[in-house]
Amino acid sequence: MKGTAIIFFLPVLVCGFVITGCSPTDSNNNNVATKNGVHVTIKNKGSDTIVNLAQAWAEKYIDITSTVSVEVSGGGSGTGVAALINGTVDIANCSRQIKPKELEQATQNTGKVPQEFIVGYDALAVYVHPDTPIDKITIPQLAEIYGEDGTITQWSHLGIENSACPSDRIIRISRQSNSGTYFYFREALLGENRDFRIGSLDLHGSKDVVEVIGRTPCAIGYSGMGYATSHVKMLAIATDENAPYYAPTLENVLTKSYPIARPLYMYSLGEPTGEIKAYLDWILSVEGQKIVQKLGFVPVESK
């Protein structure tokens, strides 16, 4: 009889453990990286644009220090900042600047003011299928393609005959409406007063955009320069029709001639100290910035 009772209560006990184990309260303070001689973990989370880069940094850094490991996860800029506000990460990755409201929330919630670091630059490339007979495009043209009440809906409106696309209709590939990439591209094209036209295919990740364009001759889309593959073509871009066209290359981004490049940010809670400071310093060093270049992003001028 007693045996049966235990079998009956086992699920209850298990449930109890699961519920308490998952409660969000325990993740608050045990992640602060303080050097106590043994192993230190820095928690790093945020933008999907930066996640590969952050991963590469983390892998290299553990090789160098052998005591400091960095836990990297993606989820989007907003996710990273939300985690920063809750105090559950040490460094948040962000492909846009933190919003004033978020800054205020983080300060209120944790008592520390988030500090901003520009760790590299990301150039957004405009991609088309290789069979599309177009090599360059202007920002105003892109604005008419993507913007609300835009006038360009067909390839022939751009003055080209896209024989690979029988319907002639431009298929706009975009990102889900709150990714950092989406925000930046919209701002670069349309400023603050105009929105994207609805009806674009809003894909869920930088890689997917390139993947789908590689299979779709009617499509145009945007994604990080580092995501280029041999199945897609990148367009040269000019700020208007009289300006020179610049291809998305490292040199053009470094000289700031390429028009759609943006800084990538990392945010720490308060002025970084100890291992977090050492990590951020290393990222901004020549060695850390080499990795930036290797992954197709553009390094900051190292100090």
What string of DSSP letters covers 187-218? HHHHTTS--BPS-SEEESSHHHHHHHHHH-TT
List the beta bridge partners of residue 71: 43
Using the rule CB under 8 A, give the single segment among 30-38, 113-121, 179-187, 260-268 that binds another protein: 179-187
Question: Interface with another protein includes 182 (CB under 8 A)?
Answer: yes
CB of residue 35 to another protein, shortest distance in Å: 33
Residue from 167, 229, 255, 273 that binds another protein (CB under 8 A)? Answer: 167
Question: Interface with another protein includes 9 (CB under 8 A)?
Answer: yes
Site for another protein in 85-104 (CB under 8 A): 99, 101-102
Q: Which of 159, 144, 141 is nearest to 239 (CA)?
A: 141
Whose structure tokens read 């045996």? 3
Is the distance from CB of 43 to CB of 101 less than 8 angstroms? Answer: no
Whose structure tokens read 């230190």? 40
Which residues, at least 6 apart from 75, have a Cβ–Cβ distance to it below 8 Å?
45, 46, 48
Question: Interface with another protein includes 8 (CB under 8 A)?
Answer: yes
**Nearest 5°: CA angle at 211, between 208 and 215?**
135
Whose structure tokens read 């409201």? 101
CB of residue 261 to another protein, shortest distance in Å: 21
- Specify the residue, 196 or 267, whose C-beta has the smaller distance to another protein: 196
Question: Interface with another protein includes 76 (CB under 8 A)?
Answer: yes
Residue from 151, 163, 177, 285 that binds another protein (CB under 8 A)? Answer: 177
Using the rule CB under 8 A, give the single segment among 138-146, 201-209, 236-244, 274-282 that binds another protein: 201-209
Residue from 83, 165, 264, 276 that binds another protein (CB under 8 A)? Answer: 165
Residue from 123, 218, 260, 266 that binds another protein (CB under 8 A)? Answer: 218
List the beta bridge partners of residue 73: 45
Site for another protein in 10-49 (CB under 8 A): 12
Is the distance from CB of 173 to CB of 126 less than 8 angstroms? Answer: no
- In angstroms, how far is CA 300 from the centroid of its own chain? 17
Residue type, 29: N
- Specify the residue, 220 or 236, whose C-beta has the smaller distance to another protein: 220
Residues that bind another protein (CB under 8 A): 1-2, 4-5, 8-9, 12, 75-79, 81-82, 99, 101-102, 105, 165-167, 169, 171, 176-179, 182-183, 192-193, 195-196, 198-204, 208, 212, 215-219
